Amino acid sequence: MGGRRRRAHDDPSIAGALFIDKPAGMTSHDVVSRVRRALGVRRVGHAGTLDPMATGVLVLGIGPTTRLLGIVGGHDKEYTATIRLGASTTTDDREGEIVSRAAKATIQSVTDAAIREAVTALTGTIDQRPSSVSAVKVDGKRSYQRVREGEDVVLPTRTVTIATFEIRGIDRGSEWIDVRVRVECSAGTYIRALARDLGIALGIGGHLTELRRTRSGGVRVDACGDLESIGVGSLISPADFARRELPAVEIDATDVPLVRNGGRCSADIPREPAVALIGPGEDLVAIVDASGASWSYLAVLPSLVGNGLAGKASREGKTEQADDQDDA
């Protein structure tokens, strides 16, 4: 039996963030389950779901650091993708069944200029309707679950921002056109919905065939590791994670207990919607909203042994022993 044996209670010193380059074929929850087993902890969450087909940046929080995910998960994202024009599918991606296919002559009549014009029209602040098989909840149940149960689900539109919709190449076949793109967008944007809407705009249908998240907030894919090599040594400390994503303010040791008990500190805090307050020794104390006349707490973090990384070397040695015992 491989992996660390899960404790009755999580080790409070195992905390921080993991940046995973998610492989294709796994759900985001599959990744969470693998990390739970690898680290021997239960409290693991992720920011920004990736479909099984997609690869790339998946940010995970371990232990108390999960409290940061709802704050940083709203940051913008970057993707590379391939959109296949000429056919529509039930899921707006390659994993669905084809429901309509344009005639060859119609596909071949679509010019590169027309594609570029349609892409431009989908750039900026737009109203987007998520795919009916997305994870959006409808009255407490995921939309895709309702579709599987036979319901005809039409989700309301939402306002999203497509900061960049860049065509990187156009490849043509007799029955299809593949458009390779790079997209920078706000959180909550569905790239497969962009593929669908591009196909609709051109009158030939479209769906997503490849998707890779290359950035989530301040985390780029080249900073991510693979699932096979994760361990306690892979953890990014809570303070380091917060610094990557948010403006940070150093607070004095005397202010740390005040902040953790709901008081105010003497530090000068910038008027931002989310600011990390970090005490001596890289102790992430709290995240506050300072955008108004007075600031409020978004999250208060407990004091962690070594801020999630102390004793790392000794724990890694114990991990290897525990793994050997489990395998035996």
Q: How many CA atoms lie within 13 A of 279 on its CB side?
A: 21
CB of 123 closer than 8 Å to CB of 184: no
Q: What's the pLDDT score for residue 3?
A: 52
Helix (H) or strand (E) holding 44: strand 44-47
Average pLDDT for residues 201-209, to the nearest whole number? Answer: 98
Decide if pLDDT at 115 tops 90. Answer: yes
Other CB atoms within a 10 A radius of the CB of residue 47 amount to 25
Is 139 considered catalytic here?
Answer: no
Task: List the single range of 148-152, 191-195, 282-286, 298-302 with lowest mean pLDDT.
Answer: 148-152
Other CB atoms within a 10 A radius of the CB of residue 314 amount to 9
- Sign of the CA dihedral with 164 first, then 162, 47, and 238 last: positive
Strands (DSSP E) along 241-282, which ranges?
A: 248-250, 275-279
Structure tokens at 166: 């860049």
- Cα 253 to the chain's mean position, in Å? 34
pTM of structure: 0.84
> Which domains can be identified in the chain, with CATH numbers?
16-74+221-327 (no CATH), 77-216 (3.30.2350.10)
Q: Give Cβ neighbours of residue 113 (< 8 Å, ≥ 6 apart).
A: none
Q: DSSP string spanning 154-206?
A: -PPPEEEEEEEEEEEEEEE-SS-EEEEEEEEE-TT--HHHHHHHHHHHHTS-E
Q: What's the pLDDT score for residue 138?
A: 73
Q: For the CA atoms of 141, 88, 212, 183, what is the dihedral angle to 10 degrees?
A: -100
Name residue, tokens 């999630």.
308
Helix (H) or strand (E) holding 142: strand 141-142
Instruction: Report the percentage of the chain scoring pLDDT > 90.
Output: 64
Cα separation, 129 vs 188, whole angstroms: 11
Catalytic residue among 51, 197, 240, 323: 51
Pairing of strands 158-172, 124-128: antiparallel
Which of 9-18, 175-184, 293-302 tops mean pLDDT?
175-184
As a whole number, the mean pLDDT across the chain is 86
Confidence bin at 312 (pLDDT 50/70/90): very low
CB of 91 closer than 8 Å to CB of 134: no
What SS3 string covers 209-252? EEEEEEEECCEEHHHCECHHHCCHHHCECHHHHHHHHCCEEECC
> For 234-255, what is each residue's pLDDT tens digit?
899 999 999 999 999 999 999 9
